[in-house]
Structures are given as structure tokens and as C-alpha cells.
Chain A
Amino acid sequence: MSEPILELRDLRKRFGALVATDGVSLTLRPGEIHALIGPNGAGKSTLIKQILGEIRPDAGTIRFEGQAIDGLDVPARARLGLARSFQVSSVVPGFSVLQNVVLAVAGASGRIYQFHRPALRDPALVEPAVFHIRHAGLAGREGVLASDLSHGERRKLEIAMALALRPRAFLLDEPMAGMGLEGARQLTAILSDLRAEAPILLVEHDMDAVFALADRISVLVYGRIIATGTVAEIRADPEVRRSYLGEDAP
């Protein structure tokens, strides 16, 4: 078995009396989509935020490509190639689609202290940006203000920005949330392709998408992983059926 890209070891986080992360160990392997499912409030977003460096765990370590990243802040982890989408989509609203992705390319380059060359006329920024916009299915929308995009388009913009980070792993927190049926189907196809770029840790409530995409699934309940396995294994697991999928799940 190949070395995991991302490895969490015995991560713990409490908010006062609430144990949001209760000894979570988990790996993300090259080329896989690893879905993280669980009921509301199970601690999925909290876990993602610890991986990104937004929340500091109380205990445990996170290794990314063989390196402990516990001491790094959010921008440093982003530059290592940890790309994310937010549960509530988060773009720069007053920027056009192109400006958003150019910003992402510039951020990933680590060279933002340039004061004279117009960023939107810098081929080193614009060419990759246009490429990623196309890849994310937003071709032709480059000039549109992000705040004018539909919900689904904004999701795609987040994907384009994640791609611009030259990601080594994607952490996607409910990318399908609020998408219509057609939008979810499109995004499922895009995510399936994305796997070729980098492995994906996917938090998602849309079970159709999860079962269609995931190579492995981990089930988080009350901050604790109660099962990890393939789609078939998870669907058959009695405890998962009881605590999350529901007894009468197909």
C-alpha cells in the first residue's frame, strides 16, 4: 500500500464540555476520494478546520506528505498544497471570476509583494487561471463578478481556486450543499475528474454523490470514527445503519 498523503493520528479537540474530535485517526491515500460522513454536529467541519490549521487540536498530530504540519498556520499549509472549499462558499465577492482565480494563482506562487506589473496582464497568472476556470466548468464566465454568480457557479469557482493552488490534497466541506439535482450531477463529474489531480477528503451529506464517488468512507459520530471501509462495507455495517443511514436505507 502506498504512503498516505495525509495522515491524522489520534486527533482530539474539545469545546468546553463538548468533545468535537475524540481520538480521530484517518488517512488520505494518493488517488482516492475518502468521504467523511456523519450526522449534523458530528464534528466533520471541525476536523477539516484542524487539518487546515484554522483550529488547533488539543492533542494528536497531522502529517502531510510525510511532514508534521502541526506548527504551520493556514497560509503556510495552503502553500504546501492543502486546497479547500468552504461549507458556506467563500469567494471574493467584488472580484470577477478571473480576478478570484488570479488571486489564487498569485497566492500559491508565494510572490504577492509585486508592486508594478498589472496582475491581470501577467501571463504567469492569467494563463493558469484561465486554464483552471475552464477545468472547473466556468469557461466564458471569466468577466462575471463573483457576487453575480449562481450558487452552483460559485461552487465551481471555489474548485477553480482550489485547482490554482496546485493542490496535493483537496479538503471539500459539503461542496454539493444547496446545489440542485442537475448541479449536483455536474459537480459529481467534476469531482470524479479532480481525483486525478489530487486525493479528496470529501465531507458530504448527499449520499448519492458519496456512494458514486467514494473509494472509502469514514463515518464520524460524536467526534469518533465508528467505521471506515468501502462503499459496500459501509452500506452493510449494522452500526452505521443504526446511527446514520437509518435502518431502512437501501
Chain B
Amino acid sequence: MTRETLVNLVILAALIGTALVAQALGEGFVVTLATKAAIFALAGVGLNLALGFGGMVSLGHAAFFGIGGYVCAILASHAASGQPVAVLPFTIAGTNEMPAIWPVAMAVSGLAAGLIGALSLRTTGVYFIMVTLAFAQMIYYFAVSWPRYGGDDGLSFYVRNSFPGLNTFDPIQYFAICATLLVLALGVCALILRARFGLALEGARQNPARAQALGIRPYGLRLTAFVLSGMIVGLAGALYADLNRFVSPAMLSWHMSGEIMVFVILGGVGRLCGPVAGAAIYILLEHLLGGVSDYWQVLLGLLLLGIVLFAPGGLVGLIAPRRRHV
């Protein structure tokens, strides 16, 4: 087992352990915080696939987070009202079953990622950042000005969606759902990154000219990674909507994109469990310092600055530096 694998296991154990201990102590609020961390971590893991492994600096991933959230909220609100979501070309009914909501959230955000990625990936560098940001902003303003689903005010649904055999209202059970999906997503990422696809994606990131000379087209690889990334972030968005039983355009705003990026950078760009550590620390700081002072973000900024300047591998990189021999 490599040192990084060990660190990854410790990070996951810490997150899950925190929730379990809080549950044992009757601290339901802390369990909810851990759930929020797990969901943000999932979003970070999704972004890391594009940013860390694919080298695509997207400032538009809030689009997928928000789309996942809105899919969840829209389906839930239709399930509550009994009206179908659409009747043409065929009837789509609302649902409050998570196992039905998740695939839809992932499909819709994956589709959006496919469209946004196909266009954005024709640019590189700072243009790519700007184009992804622009697409996300378009979706943001669309949500703001679409009164059907709450517009600026957002959309509430009063009952958390259900999962067969579980009581999703129980904080620890909802945490279990989110943590399981996080671990699954990490497993899927670990698998594909070790496979030919991941090798080619990483190779094309580090040296695109060389990859092409070996018969590999970076565009298709990147687009695929971008879509997978969008789907994972969309799933996180759906879970976040269920956590709050509320969605609003804030989920789609560029602040959200920046926040997800902060999780990745704090924890370690291109490190499998980096975003988990990053999201957990973010939530921890917000909780500990947010109450003390509204200026806690200044501290976060300093921490980020320190990481970027002195530990570009993030926290995971600090604890488990890359070995020189593989």
C-alpha cells in the first residue's frame, strides 16, 4: 500500500468516524455538517476528474451542481403536487425516490457537460476558464428569471426524498447514503484513472503533443472526462438539494464554482482523496470560525495562498509527496 492510499483511508475514516461519534453523542447537527462535507467532497471529486486529472480548469462546475439540484427539486415538487413534469413528447411524472432521481440528475448534468464541454474544449487556457464561466452564468440567469420554479427565490420541497429501506430523515442514515456514494465515486475514479483511459488522459494533460504523436486525440478524452466530471457533480447537487430540501440559483452561481475549486486546491489537485480533505477542512473552518467572525473567509484566503505558494500538492501532497519512482 502506498503512502497516499494510507492517507486516503485515514481521510475517509476521519469523515465517517466524525459522523459516527457525533451520532453516538447525540450531536445531530455535527452529523449534518459531516453530510454536507461528504456532499461537497463528492462535488470536489467530480471537479478533480476534469481539473486535476484532465487539466481542464473549469470555473463553470456550479452549472452541473445546480442542474443536479434543480432536477432533484423539480422532480420532488412535482411528486408532491401530483402534476407531471412534462406531457410532451411523453409523460414524465415527478418522483420522490432517490434511486430514480439520481440517474436523471446525472443524465441531465452529463448532457449539459457534453454540450458545454464540446464547445469549451475548443479553447484552452484562460479562454477555457472564461467560456465555462460564461455558460454557467447563462444557466444561472436562466434560473433566476424562470418563475415556474421559484426564480430568484429558489424552490423548496418540504419532505426529503426517500430511499427504499432507509429513513432519510434520520441524519445518520442520510449521511450513510451520501458517504456511500462518495466512496463509490472514489472507487470509480480510481478504477478509470488506472485504466487505459486514465493513462491516456493524464498523458495528454502532461504532454498533448506527445500524446498526438502516439495516435491519441486529447479532445475526445477530455470531453469524456468532462462529462463524467459533470455527472458526479450533478449527483452531488441532487444530494445537496435533498440535504437542504431547497434549491436556489445560488447553487448555480460562480461562487459555488469557486468553492468547489477551493475544495480541490486545499486538498490536493490531482489527488484522489484531496477534495475530501479539502471539503472537510472547509466545512470545519466555516463552522469554527464562521461563528466567531464574518471575516473567516479572509483566513481561508490566507490558507489557500499558503497552499498554492508552498504546497501545490495540497494537504494530501504535503503528507504524501509523490514518489520519484513508480
**Count of chain A residues with Cβ under 8 Å from any Cβ of B?**
46
B195 touching A114, Cβ below 8 Å: yes
Count of chain A to chain B residue pairs whose CB atoms are closer than 8 Å in the complex: 113
| Interfacial chain B residues near A108, Cβ < 8 Å | 214-215
Q: Contacting A125 at CB < 8 Å: which of B196, B212, B215, B217? A: B196
Tell me if A237 counts as interface (CB < 8 A to partner B): no
| Interfacial chain B residues near A107, Cβ < 8 Å | 200, 211, 214-216
Q: Contacting A75 at CB < 8 Å: which of B198, B212, B326? A: B212
Tell me if A144 counts as interface (CB < 8 A to partner B): yes
Instruction: Decide yes or no: A93 and B196 within 8 Å by CB, A75-B217, A78-B214, A115-B191 being known contacts.
Output: no
**Per-position binary interface string of chain B over residues 183-199, scored 1 when its CB falls under 8 Å from any chain A CB and 0 otherwise:** 00000000110111111
Instruction: Decide yes or no: A94 and B206 within 8 Å by CB, A106-B199, A113-B197 being known contacts.
Output: yes
Q: Contacting B199 at CB < 8 Å: which of A84, A110, A119, A143? A: A119
Of A5-13, A55-63, A96-104, A194-202, the one with at least 4 CB within 8 A of chain B: A96-104
Tell me if A79 counts as interface (CB < 8 A to partner B): yes
Q: For this complex, into which size category does the number of interface residues on chain B fall?
A: 20 to 34
Tell me if A35 counts as interface (CB < 8 A to partner B): no
| Interfacial chain A residues near B200, Cβ < 8 Å | 103, 106-107, 112
- Which DSSP category, helix, strand, loop or mixed, fits chain B's interface? helix
A145 touching B191, Cβ below 8 Å: no
Q: Contacting A93 at CB < 8 Å: which of B194, B207, B214? A: B207
- Which DSSP category, helix, strand, loop or mixed, fits chain A's interface? mixed
Tell me if A148 counts as interface (CB < 8 A to partner B): yes
A95 touching B206, Cβ below 8 Å: yes
B207 touching A92, Cβ below 8 Å: yes
Q: Contacting B215 at CB < 8 Å: which of A79, A92, A115, A144? A: A79
A119 touching B212, Cβ below 8 Å: no
Instruction: Decide yes or no: A114 and B194 within 8 Å by CB, A79-B215, A145-B325, A145-B326 being known contacts.
Output: no
B203 touching A92, Cβ below 8 Å: yes
**Per-position binary interface string of chain B over residues 209-233, scored 1 when its CB falls under 8 Å from any chain A CB and 0 otherwise:** 1111111110001001000000000
Q: Contacting B196 at CB < 8 Å: which of A83, A90, A91, A112? A: A112
Q: Which residues B139-178 have CB closer than 8 A to chain A?
A: none
| Interfacial chain B residues near A165, Cβ < 8 Å | 214-215
Tell me if A118 counts as interface (CB < 8 A to partner B): yes
B326 touching A143, Cβ below 8 Å: yes
| Interfacial chain A residues near B213, Cβ < 8 Å | 52, 74, 78, 83-84, 86, 90
Measured CA separation A81–B210 after assembly (Å): 15
| Interfacial chain A residues near B207, Cβ < 8 Å | 90-93
Measured CA separation A99–B215 after assembly (Å): 16
**Known pairs A95-B326, A104-B214. 10 more at Cβ < 8 A?**
A75-B216, A75-B217, A78-B213, A92-B210, A94-B322, A96-B325, A107-B211, A108-B214, A112-B196, A116-B192
Question: A interface vs B, CB < 8 Å?
Answer: 52, 73-76, 78-79, 83-84, 86, 90-96, 98-100, 102-104, 106-108, 110-120, 122, 125, 143-145, 148, 161, 164-165
Q: What 10 pairs between A and B have smallest CB-CB spacing? A: A107-B214, A78-B215, A79-B215, A96-B326, A107-B215, A112-B200, A118-B194, A74-B212, A114-B196, A107-B216
